[in-house]
């Protein structure tokens, strides 16, 4: 009987130790902060989008980890996520899809843009200027023609 009490005591003690660790966990802060305007992004990051496409709807703006500007929007019934950050070699897109096709096409300013896509499905465009890195992601309804038109309007 004494060994059963000891076993019960050890089990209760182990459970208490296990549960005590749960209360001390630190909560990770969400790096995305919703912003109300491009001016608010400018204040937070020291830069913003200089231009976005005309006739967009459902615009939502964010900053990510105090380094990246993000604009989510709809154009011609297709959703897009545009990102801009100070020049970096790090992928800022946050997209980890595998794409079947790739090609590089210059934008309206002659800057090479890498397009990765699954025709008619998802697509990602990435490019850099002397000061900034950009990405544009289309999770569904990808069209080369539409995507190139959107890329040409983002600065």
Q: Model-level pTM?
A: 0.81
Residue 23 domain-assigned?
Answer: no
Give me the residue label for tokens 């210059």.
106
**What is the C-alpha to C-alpha distance for residues 80 and 59, in angstroms, rounded to an integer?**
10
Residue 147: pLDDT over 90: yes
Structural domain includes residue 21? no
How many CB atoms within 10 Å of residue 10?
10
- H or E segment to which residue 147 belongs: helix 144-153
Q: Is residue 2 part of a domain?
A: no
> Tell me: the pLDDT tens digits for 13-26?
445 545 445 555 56
Residue 22 belongs to some domain of the structure = no
Residue 11 within any structural domain of the chain: no
For residue 10, is it within any domain?
no
Per the CB < 8 A criterion, the answer to whether 135 and 129 are in contact is no
Residue 13 lies in a domain: no
User: Residue 88: which pLDDT band, with cuts at 50, 70 and 90?
Assistant: confident
Say which residue, 90 or 62, is predicted with more confidence: 62
Q: Does residue 146 lie within any of the structural domains?
A: yes
- How many domains does the structure of the chain reveal? 1
Sign of the four-CA dihedral 41, 42, 47, 49: positive
Cβ proximity of 92 and 62 under 8 Å: no
DSSP conformational letter for 22? G
- 8: pLDDT strictly greater than 60: no
Q: What is the CA radius of gyration of the chain?
A: 23
pLDDT at 117 exceeding the cut of 60 = yes
The total number of residues written for the chain in this structure: 155
Residues 19-52 have pLDDT tens digits of 445 555 567 778 899 999 999 999 999 999 999 9
**What's the pLDDT at 19?**
47
What percentage of the chain reaches a pLDDT higher than 90? Answer: 76
Place of tokens 């025709």: 119
CA dihedral sign of residues 51, 57, 61, 67: negative
Confidence at residue 32, expressed as pLDDT on a 0 to 100 scale: 93
More reliable by pLDDT, 29 or 139: 139
CATH number at residue 128: 3.30.200
Residue 78's domain comprises 32-153
């Amino acid at each position: 009987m004494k060994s059963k009490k000891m076993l019960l005591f050890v089990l209760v003690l182990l459970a208490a130790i296990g549960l005590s660790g749960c209360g001390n966990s630190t909560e990770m802060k969400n790096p995305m902060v919703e912003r109300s305007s491009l001016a608010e992004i400018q204040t937070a990051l020291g830069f913003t989008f200089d231009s976005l496409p005309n006739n967009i709807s459902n615009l939502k703006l964010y900053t990510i980890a105090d380094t990246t500007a993000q604009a989510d929007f709809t154009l011609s019934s297709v959703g897009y996520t545009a990102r801009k950050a100070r020049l970096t070699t790090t992928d800022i897109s946050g997209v980890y899809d595998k794409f079947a096709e790739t090609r590089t096409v210059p934008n309206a300013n002659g800057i090479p843009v890498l397009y990765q896509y699954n025709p008619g499905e998802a697509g990602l465009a990435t490019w850099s200027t002397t000061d900034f890195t950009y990405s544009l992601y289309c999770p569904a309804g990808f069209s080369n023609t539409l995507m190139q038109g959107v890329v040409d309007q983002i600065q």
